[in-house]
Amino acid sequence: MKDSVDAQLRDQQAGFSKDRSCTDQIATLRIIVEQSIEWNSSLYINFIDYEKAFDSVDRTTLWKLLRHYGVPQKIVNIIQISYDGLHCKIVHEGQLTKSFEIKNRCQERLFTFTLSLSPGDRLDHEDVNI
């Protein structure tokens, strides 16, 4: 899934992408800031707290984006199930515990969030609610 999506993401979109490190992004930002100072031009920078923004992505839009990037429906369904809240029970001292929700975010969830930051030009923007 990551390979098919990575091939379509813009170069500026680097979060959770193969061969795109934080160091590269920091160096790029530094060059942009230095050029802005040199050319005496305005520069606006926006930093996002991804941990807080993570769960704010419209899920219906996310499923559309995954299909847009060619992710098979079977994989979209699996991801969708993981977003709907996983519950589990564990065996403790020979007894099953009560069911509890797993809230730990995995890398695949962060990857799909990153994907939602880069909607393609081919999407109908009226359908995108990010």
Residue 80: what pLDDT?
81
Tokens 């609610």: give the residue.
129
Which of 51, 67, 70, 71 has its CA nearest to residue 114?
Answer: 51
pLDDT score, position 50: 52
Task: Enumerate the β-bridge partners of residue 88.
Answer: 100
What is the C-alpha separation between 12 and 29, in angstroms, rounded? Answer: 11
Q: Where are the beta strands (DSSP E) in the chain?
A: 86-88, 91-92, 95-96, 100-102
User: Tell me: the pLDDT tens digits for 96-105?
Assistant: 888 877 654 5
For the entire predicted model, the pTM comes to 0.36
Residue 125 included in any domain? no
Q: At 65, is the pLDDT very low, low, confident or very high (cuts 50, 70, 90)? A: confident
Domain count of the chain? 1
Answer for the pair 64, 125: CB distance below 8 angstroms, yes or no: no
Q: How far apart are CA 69 and CA 85, in angstroms?
A: 24
**Does residue 40 fall inside a structural domain?**
yes
- Among candidates 3, 85, 15, which has minimal Cα distance to 48? 15
Residue 20 belongs to some domain of the structure = yes
pLDDT above 80 for 86? no
- The angle formed by the CA atoms of residues 112, 113 and 119, to the nearest 5 degrees, is 85
Whether residue 128 is contained in a domain is answered as no
Residue 129 within a domain: no
Look up the domain containing 15 and give its range. Answer: 2-120
User: When comparing pLDDT for 25 and 3, which is higher?
Assistant: 25
